[in-house]
Structure 1
Amino acid sequence: MAVAGKRGPSPEVVGPRAVLLLCVLSLLLIGLVMVYSAGSIDDVKAGHSVVRSIQSQALYAGVGVVCAAVVWRFIPVSAWTGPLVWAVWGVAVVMLGLTAVIGTEIYGARRWLGITETIGIQPSEFAKIALLLMAVRILCLLREGSLEPRAAVVQAIVLVMMPLGFLYVTQSDLGTTLICFVGIYAVMWVGGVPGRLMGAIAVAGVALAAFAVFGTGYRSGRMVYLDPWNDGEGGYGDGFNIIRSYYALAEGGLLGVGLGNSREKFGYLFASDSDFIFAIIGEELGMVGALVVIGLFVAFLVAGLRIAQGAPDDLGRMVAGGCTIMLVAQAFLNIGCTIGVLPTTGKPLPFISSGGSSILATMIMVGLILSVSRAQDAPTVYEQRRADLRVVRAERPAPPERPSSRAPRR
C-alpha cells in the first residue's frame, strides 16, 4: 500500500522566509549594539549602570522573539477572521481608553499606561496591530460574500476609523495615525479594492494629514525642517534637534567616527537612543553603516511581499502585505525625519530604537508574517485529496499450468 507523505516547504517559501529571518536578526543585533552605545551615556548621567539600557533592550528583544515564535508556530493565520481578532481588538480599545483617562503624560502627550512605577506600555503600538487585523477581517469577509457592502462600510467606520480617530484626538499622535493609515491602505491595496476608490481614499488621507499639520500650531512648527536654522531662535528652537542630526551624519562621513565614538549623544542630540538613533548610526558607522540598515529594511520589504504573494488565500496576502508595509513605512518615516526630508514625528526605528512596546509590537507583526509563510507549507485542497487516496498493489496470480499435449504413457 502506498501513502502520499506530507509536503515539505517549497523553495518559494523557504527563500523569502530565510531572508526575512536574517534581516530581523541582523536589525535586532544592530539595535542592541547601538542602544548600548547611545543609551549608556544617559544611564551614567542618571547614576545607573552603564549596561542598564542594553539589558532592558535585550530583555524586551528576547520576549519579542518568544511572542513572534508563538504567533508563528501556534496561531494559524485563519484565526484572524474569528473570535480571536475580536479579543485583540477589544483589549487594544480598552487600553486606549484607559490611557486617555489614567495614562502617564510625558513630553506633553498622554500616550503611556503605567503598570508599575518603572514599567509602562504604549498601547498605540499594539493598537496598530489590532486595527490592521480588524481591517483584514472586514475586507476578507466582504470578498467571501459573508458581509454585505453596506455592513462592511459601517463596520470599517465603527471598528477601524473611530478607534483611529480616538487615538489621534486623545493622544495627539499624528505619527502613529499615519502609520496605521498606511497599513490599512496596504491591506486594501493587497485585497484588491478598486483603484478609483483607493484614489479617493488617498486624496482624503492627504487632505486630513495636511489639516492636522497646519491646523495645529506646534505641528506646523515642525515644518521648520525645511530650514531648521531659520526657526526664529537662531537654530535653538524647533530646528535644534534636526540640526544636531545633520551634524551627526556629516561627522560620520563615509566610514564613521567609530563605534562608541559619537559626540552628539553627549547631551546634544535629543532621544539619541530612540527617535534619532539612525543619526548615531550614521555618525559612528558612517554612510556605509546607514546604507546597510536601509538595505536590510529593503530586503525585509521584498521578502515580506514575496511571502504575501505566495500566500494560499486572500487572508494571508492581506495579513503579510499589511504588516510588512506598515513596518517598513515606519522605518522610512523615522529615517526620513532623521535626514531632514520629513517633519519630525517621534516614531521609533523598528527593531533598533530602544523601547519595550515598540519592539514587542514589531516582533508580533513579524510572527504574523511568518504564520502566513507557515500556511504555505500546508498542502492545498487538491494535494490533500490526492494524499488521501490509497492505492493498493496486488500480486498478479501465476497463470494456471497448461496441460501437456502429450498423451500419457501406458
Structure 2
Amino acid sequence: MASARNRRSDAESVIWPQVLLVVAVVALTLIGFVIIYSASQVTILSEAATNYYADTEAGQYLRDTISYSDYIAQQNPSAKLISQFIYSLAGILIAVAIWFMLPRSGWKGAIVKGYWGVCVALLVITFLFGTAALGAQRWIVIGPLSLQPSEFAKIAIVLMAANLMDDLNEGDEFNSVMIRAALYVVAPTLFLLFTQSDLGTTIIIFVGVYAVLWFGGAPGKLMLAIAGVAVLAVIAIVLFGSGYRQDRFVVYNPWNDGEGGRGNGYQTIHSFYAFAEGGLFGVGLGNSSEKYDYLPEAETDFVFSIIGEEFGMLGAFVVIALFCCILFAGMRIASAAATPNERIVAGSVTIMLVFQAFLNMGCVIGLVPTTGKPLPFVSAGGSSLIASLMMVGIIMAVARNADNTTVYDRRRANLRVVRAVDDDSNGSRNAPRGGRADSRTRAPQGARRRQTRSSSRR
C-alpha cells in the first residue's frame, strides 16, 4: 500500500507542473495573437502605402493601374496574424511529436547528433547563401517562407553540451570531453557569432551551456572562472568589434545620442513613451499610438512595449508572471527527471527559454542594450515561435519519462558507485571458482564501464 501511494503521489508531482507549463505557454501564445493583430495591421497598411508611392518601377506601375484607396482596400490587415497562427500549428505538431515520440535513448543517440548536424549545415548555408535584413545575414528565404537557423541551432548546441556533461559524469576522460566540446559546442557558437554578428543568440547559448554545467554538478570555482572569462569576452567584443554595438549603450541615456533622441536612442525613447502612456491599466486593446510607425519593430522585438501601452503595468506583470510559471514548472520537471541526463536537458532548456524572455523585456525597458531577440511565444516570427514550442516539447518529453518512474528509480539512477579495482593477481585470487564474479558483488553497469576505462588507462 505504501509503495502504491508513493508511486501515485510521485506521478501527481510531475503532472501538475506539466499542466502549469502548458497553460502558461497557451496563454502567452494567445496574448501574442492579440498583440500581433493589434500592432501589425498598422504596419501592413503603412508598408502598402510606402510601396504605392515608392519612386520605383513597381510603384509607378501601381499608380498607373489602380487607385490608392482600392490598393489599400486589397490589403489584408490580418496577414501577419494568420502567418503566426500557421507557424504556431507547425510548432505545436513538432512539440507534440517530441513529447510523445522521442525515445528515452534519443537524448544521447543519433537523433540529437543528426539534429545538430542539420542545424550546423543550415548555419553554413546561411553564411553562403543567406538573405540580409536589418543589417545582418541571418535568414534563409525559401519561396514565401523565411527561416532563421540560429533559433534552432541554439537548441542543438545546448543538447550536445548536456550529452557531453553526462559523458563526463559517467567517467569519460576530461581531455576527450573537452575536445568534443570544442567541436560540438564552441565551434558552431563562434561560427554563429562571427558570420551572423549575432551576439544576442550567442549570449543565450552561453546561458544555456552554463545551466548545463550547473545542473551537471560542475565545481563552483570552475563556474566562476567561466563566468569571468565570458564577461571579459563580451566586453572585448563590444569594445573592439562592430561600432554599432557600442552605439547601443546609449540605451542608458537615449536622449543623449548626438541627434536629440532621433538617432540610436529613438527606439528606446518611444518604448518608454509606450509604457508611460499605458500607465497602470493601459489605454485599451487597439488604442496604442506608438504602433503608428513611431516605435519600430512594434510586433516583433518591441512587442512588450505595446503590451505595456495597451494593457498597462498590470498586463505587463501578467506576462512576466507567465514566464515565471514556465520557469517554476520546468525546474520541477527537471528535479523529477528519470535520469541525470534528462535533468540536465530539461533544466538547461528551461533556463535558456526564460532567459531569452527576460533579456527581451530588459532591452525594452532600458535595462540592457538592445539585442534584437524576440519575446518567446509572443513576438511575431515563425522561427522563434517554432523553436520555443520545440523547447516546450523537450521539457514535456522529460516529464513523460518521469511519469513512468518512481522516486526510488530516480535515486538509483542518480547513484554513483565508486569502487577500488584490484590488480589482476588479487582479482584472480579473490574470484570464485569457475571464473565468474559472485552476483552479490557485481557492480552496476555504469560502475563496470568506469572500471573498464580505469583499467585501460593503467
User: TM above 0.5, one fold?
Assistant: yes
Give yes or no for contact 1:93–1:127 (8 Å, CA) kept in 2.
yes
2:84 maps to amino acid: Q
What's the counterpart of residue 17 of structure 1?
18
* Deviating more after overlay: 47-56 vs 274-283: 47-56
Structure 1 segment 310-389 matched on structure 2, within 5 A: 310-380=336-406
Q: 2: distance between equivalents of 1:365 and 1:251?
A: 35
What's the counterpart of residue 304 of structure 1?
330
Superposed CA deviations along residues 276-308 of structure 1, whole A, max 9, x for unmatched, are 000000000000000000000011101101110
Shift in Å, 1:382: 6.7
RMSD, matched Cα:
1.6
The share of aligned pairs that are identical, in percent, is 50
Shift in CA distance, 281/383, structure 1 to aligned 2, threshold 3 Å: closer
Match of 2:134 among 81, 85, 107: 107
Match of 1:132 among 137, 141, 158: 158
Shift in Å, 1:78: 3.0
Match of 1:275 among 301, 305, 309: 301
1:211 maps to amino acid: A
Q: 1: distance between equivalents of 2:30 and 2:138?
A: 28
1:350 maps to amino acid: P
Shift in CA distance, 321/64, structure 1 to aligned 2, threshold 3 Å: same
Match of 2:320 among 279, 294, 313: 294
Report whether the alignment pairs 1:221 with 2:247: yes
What's the counterpart of residue 63 of structure 2?
none
Superposed CA deviations along residues 102-124 of structure 1, whole A, max 9, x for unmatched, are 000001100001111x3110000
What's the counterpart of residue 195 of structure 1?
220
Shift in Å, 1:310: 1.0
Q: 1: distance between equivalents of 2:402 and 2:98?
A: 15
Q: 1: distance between equivalents of 2:130 and 2:409?
A: 52
* Deviating more after overlay: 26-35 vs 68-77: 68-77
Match of 2:284 among 236, 245, 258: 258
Give yes or no for contact 1:64–1:360 (8 Å, CA) kept in 2.
yes
SS of residue in 2 equivalent to 1:67: helix
SS of residue in 2 equivalent to 1:46: helix
Q: 2: distance between equivalents of 1:382 and 1:204?
A: 40
Unaligned runs of 5+ in 1: 385-410
What's the counterpart of residue 50 of structure 1?
77
Shift in CA distance, 172/383, structure 1 to aligned 2, threshold 3 Å: closer
Shift in Å, 1:42: 1.1
Give yes or no for contact 2:201–2:373 (8 Å, CA) kept in 1.
yes
2:214 maps to amino acid: W
1:190 maps to amino acid: F
* Deviating more after overlay: 62-71 vs 211-220: 211-220
1:100 maps to amino acid: F
- Tell me the TM-score normalised to structure 2 length: 0.81
What's the counterpart of residue 177 of structure 1?
202
Shift in CA distance, 211/374, structure 1 to aligned 2, threshold 3 Å: same
1:21 maps to amino acid: V
SS of residue in 1 equivalent to 2:140: strand
Superposed CA deviations along residues 244-292 of structure 1, whole A, max 9, x for unmatched, are 0000000000000000000000001000000000000000000000000
What's the counterpart of residue 167 of structure 1?
192
2:35 maps to amino acid: M
Shift in Å, 1:63: 1.0
What's the counterpart of residue 99 of structure 2?
72
Instruction: Extract structure 1 runs of 4+ deviating beyond 4 A.
Output: 380-384
Match of 2:173 among 127, 130, 148: 148
Q: Which structure would you say has the larger RCO, counting Cα contacts within 8 Å and 6 or more residues apart?
A: 1
Shift in CA distance, 263/81, structure 1 to aligned 2, threshold 3 Å: same
Give yes or no for contact 2:330–2:395 (8 Å, CA) kept in 1.
yes
Give yes or no for contact 1:68–1:368 (8 Å, CA) kept in 2.
yes
Shift in CA distance, 246/13, structure 1 to aligned 2, threshold 3 Å: same
Shift in Å, 1:44: 2.1
Give yes or no for contact 1:77–1:315 (8 Å, CA) kept in 2.
no
Give yes or no for contact 2:268–2:366 (8 Å, CA) kept in 1.
yes
Q: 2: distance between equivalents of 1:382 and 1:316?
A: 16
Shift in CA distance, 77/251, structure 1 to aligned 2, threshold 3 Å: farther
Higher helix residue share: 2
1:213 maps to amino acid: V
Give yes or no for contact 2:37–2:78 (8 Å, CA) kept in 1.
yes
Q: 1: distance between equivalents of 2:204 and 2:408?
A: 39
Q: 1: distance between equivalents of 2:215 and 2:166?
A: 11
Give yes or no for contact 1:104–1:111 (8 Å, CA) kept in 2.
yes
SS of residue in 2 equivalent to 1:12: helix
* Largest Rg, 1 or 2: 1
Give yes or no for contact 2:338–2:405 (8 Å, CA) kept in 1.
no
Q: 2: distance between equivalents of 1:59 and 1:38?
A: 18
SS of residue in 1 equivalent to 2:227: helix
Shift in CA distance, 77/32, structure 1 to aligned 2, threshold 3 Å: farther
Give yes or no for contact 1:78–1:315 (8 Å, CA) kept in 2.
no
SS of residue in 2 equivalent to 1:114: strand
Give yes or no for contact 1:77–1:368 (8 Å, CA) kept in 2.
no
- Tell me the TM-score normalised to structure 1 length: 0.90
Shift in CA distance, 327/77, structure 1 to aligned 2, threshold 3 Å: farther
Q: 2: distance between equivalents of 1:136 and 1:358?
A: 22
SS of residue in 1 equivalent to 2:138: strand
Superposed CA deviations along residues 79-131 of structure 1, whole A, max 9, x for unmatched, are 11111111011001100000000000001100001111x31100000000100
How many pairs does the alignment contain?
Answer: 378
Unaligned runs of 5+ in 2: 49-74, 411-458
Shift in CA distance, 87/220, structure 1 to aligned 2, threshold 3 Å: same
Shift in Å, 1:46: 3.1
Report whether the alignment pairs 1:92 with 2:119: yes
